[in-house]
Chains A and B, each alone.
Chain A
Amino acid sequence: MTAVLKKVVDNERMVDNDREGQRFRVARKAFVSKEILERERANIFDKVWLFLGHESELNKPGDFLTRSVGGRTLLFTRDAKNRFHALLNTCPHRGARVCRERSGNAKSFQCFYHGWVFGLDGSLRDMPGKESYPEGFAERPTSSLQPVPKFDSLRGFCFVSFNPNVESLSDYLGNAKEYLEVVADHAEAGLTVVGGTQEYSIRANWKLLAENSFDGYHAAVNHATYLEYLKSTTGGLVPIQLVGHARDLGNGHGVVEYKAPWGRPVAQWIPAWGDDGKKRIDAIFDKLVAKHGTERAERIAHYNRNLHIFPNLVINDIMALTIRTFHPSEPDFMSVNAWALAPKDEDPKDRSSRLFNFLEFLGPGGFATPDDIEALEQCQDGFKNMAEVPWNDISKGLAKETPSFDDEAQMRGYWTEWNRRMYGA
């Protein structure tokens, strides 16, 4: 073992922020160690706010879905009074998962093991052999499906926390809130999750995807075939330079915001969408100007955003609008979920272009994401050499006052927060 790695192991120094040496490094051990993953569960996933879902996924009273978040299995419901509930999907009686369906509409949930029946709000409604329990048993708080300790939402984005003492969602989101609002402002009628989930996995550490999600540096090389594809389309591009900036938003959140030559259904027209498309896109833009003023409308319509909310939520506001979350199950394995968001009242033609756009870049069958997955898995494989090569370098743009979208300032913000939460450093 090299002296450097020994020092890392002894001191658990995972982040090396060497200001004098103009160098920012992350120990590769942070991506491979089981102990570190356990510590991440305790110090990060059990402590912060985590994305659960979007309100539009539960459209009407009685709608429900089940989802894994932060190592828990959750039941997300909308009750008869249109209140949303995030419940821990385990029978308070003996533990079985109460709801075993992916999604649906129900008046109540019955545990299939002994038959306890719960309302959409989690309260115990009935059970076989009631007379064998003391009076008032069903009303005890411990007899219900337990709610998550904290549940809150911002503009339709719903979050949970397993930490009863967590700061408010608003404080936690901090500077990232404004960017979520820009996304929510795409449509006055609100946004909806389009049907269909991309569910996949990556044989790599979850933090590699966090880094990759707002890494503007890799696109030109890693995604060369995507850019070549765009050039070979007829009218798939407008003459706009890929240029912009990166921001460390604090609390581990970060964003790259930039102009780009591809079409945006909200609202950057490309010739491929034709004259009719131009009329529709112009109308969308005019509506944004009327509602938000020219400056904000420009920002909503003509700027792309890759927003990363610590620790595992990505909102890509690019050629389509996507929500992506990812959860580790092993140091070298994560599960990924991705959804497409769209304006509720979108014209069917624009909806179709949006989803066509989404698939040409994004997802496990796209022209870009599979190459990201390959890169992340090859990094994980490369970490087998960490005894001799123990550090990742994250120094790009360190000396710049305003880092470019293809610098690594946003990643340094991410790692600084990770380090603070993990080691109080």
Chain B
Amino acid sequence: MTATATLQNVTRADVEDFLFAEADLIDNWKLPEWLELFTDDAHYYVPSTDVDPEAAPDNNLFYIADDRFRLGERVKRLMKRTAHVEFPHSKVRHIVGNVRILERNGDELKISTAFIAHRTKNAVTDVYFGTGIYRLVVRDGKMAIREKRSILASDGLRQQGRVSFIL
């Protein structure tokens, strides 16, 4: 992306570059760097799979509904040896595709993706798949995540059992 990127001239390729870089940080457990992609008022959501994908966490039970503070705490936790579910860190690879710019509104872009993430731990491999909805802001020529909503397409987490890494 050029330094002069604005909300109006950001292309899908720019957005893809940003999202691929995000996935790379997650897959390599560079979570403190990943956290820097978020705005100070950011949210990260993983709704339960029997609610409306656009449901609010105020009155619906989600799997994850982090504000920026708790997202930071999640990152701190996941980098500790005492986050037992992720010690040693599982091996994760994301494929992010079907990227579309849905809206350019106010100071933000609404982005939709399809994601597949594989996770291996203790010789068991699980697949997580679904739709990613992002609200991205463009500031000083750089993109930042104001909201990331990872909507699982599976029936709950019946095989996977946990969503302990970042989707």
B47 in the interface, Cβ–Cβ < 8 Å? Answer: yes
Residues of B near A338 (CB, < 8 A) are 61
> Are A365 and B64 in contact, CB atoms less than 8 angstroms apart?
yes
Residues of B near A348 (CB, < 8 A) are 58-59
Measured in the bound complex, the distance between the Cα atoms of B58 and A352 in whole Å is 4
> Are B49 and A199 in contact, CB atoms less than 8 angstroms apart?
yes
Which one of B50, B84, B162 lies within 8 Å of A197 (CB-CB)? B50
Using known A-B contacts A367-B77, A374-B84, determine if residue A356 contacts B65 with beta carbons closer than 8 Å. Answer: yes
> Are B61 and A360 in contact, CB atoms less than 8 angstroms apart?
no
Interface locus among A31-39, A200-208, A303-311, A411-419: A200-208
Measured in the bound complex, the distance between the Cα atoms of B79 and A225 in whole Å is 11
Measured in the bound complex, the distance between the Cα atoms of B159 and A335 in whole Å is 9
Which one of B51, B77, B83 lies within 8 Å of A195 (CB-CB)? B51
> Are A371 and B83 in contact, CB atoms less than 8 angstroms apart?
yes
A370 in the interface, Cβ–Cβ < 8 Å? Answer: yes
> Are A202 and B158 in contact, CB atoms less than 8 angstroms apart?
no
Smallest CB–CB gap between A90 and chain B, Å? 21
Residues of A near B21 (CB, < 8 A) are none
B1 in the interface, Cβ–Cβ < 8 Å? Answer: no
Residues of A near B60 (CB, < 8 A) are 194-196, 355
> Are A374 and B85 in contact, CB atoms less than 8 angstroms apart?
yes
Measured in the bound complex, the distance between the Cα atoms of B63 and A369 in whole Å is 11
Residues of A near B97 (CB, < 8 A) are none
> Are B84 and A198 in contact, CB atoms less than 8 angstroms apart?
no
Measured in the bound complex, the distance between the Cα atoms of B163 and A41 in whole Å is 30
Smallest CB–CB gap between A105 and chain B, Å? 15
A157 in the interface, Cβ–Cβ < 8 Å? Answer: no
Which one of B58, B73, B80, B82 lies within 8 Å of A355 (CB-CB)? B58
**Interface digits, A236-279 against B, CB 8 Å rule (1 contact, 0 not)?**
00000000000000000000000000000000000000000000
Residue of B nearest to A338 (CB): B61
> Are A355 and B159 in contact, CB atoms less than 8 angstroms apart?
no
Interface of B, helix, strand, loop or mixed by DSSP: loop
Measured in the bound complex, the distance between the Cα atoms of B122 and A355 in whole Å is 31
Measured in the bound complex, the distance between the Cα atoms of B158 and A348 in whole Å is 31
Interface size on A, residues (CB 8 A): 43
B46 in the interface, Cβ–Cβ < 8 Å? Answer: yes
**Interface digits, B42-73 against A, CB 8 Å rule (1 contact, 0 not)?**
00001111110001011111111100011001
Using known A-B contacts A199-B49, A359-B65, A381-B122, determine if residue A373 contacts B162 with beta carbons closer than 8 Å. Answer: yes
A232 in the interface, Cβ–Cβ < 8 Å? Answer: yes
A80 in the interface, Cβ–Cβ < 8 Å? Answer: no
Within 8 A of B (CB), among A169-201: 194-201
Residue of A nearest to B66 (CB): A359
> Are A365 and B156 in contact, CB atoms less than 8 angstroms apart?
no
Residue of B nearest to A229 (CB): B73
A-B contact pairs, 26 of them (CB 8 A): A103-B50, A196-B47, A196-B50, A196-B62, A197-B156, A198-B48, A198-B61, A199-B48, A199-B158, A200-B157, A200-B158, A225-B77, A233-B73, A348-B59, A358-B61, A359-B57, A359-B62, A359-B64, A360-B70, A363-B63, A369-B162, A370-B162, A371-B85, A374-B85, A375-B84, A377-B122
Which 9 A-B pairs have CB atoms at the shortest separation, nearest pair first?
A199-B156, A196-B61, A365-B63, A370-B85, A365-B64, A196-B48, A200-B157, A352-B58, A374-B85
Known contacts A195-B61, A359-B61, then 18 further A-B pairs from the complex at CB < 8 Å, ordered by chain A residue: A194-B60, A195-B51, A196-B47, A196-B61, A197-B48, A199-B48, A199-B155, A200-B156, A200-B158, A201-B159, A202-B161, A229-B76, A229-B77, A232-B73, A355-B57, A355-B60, A364-B160, A371-B85
Which A residues fall within an 8 A CB radius of B?
102-103, 194-203, 222, 224-225, 228-229, 232-233, 335, 338-340, 348, 351-352, 355-356, 358-360, 363-365, 367, 369-371, 373-375, 377, 381
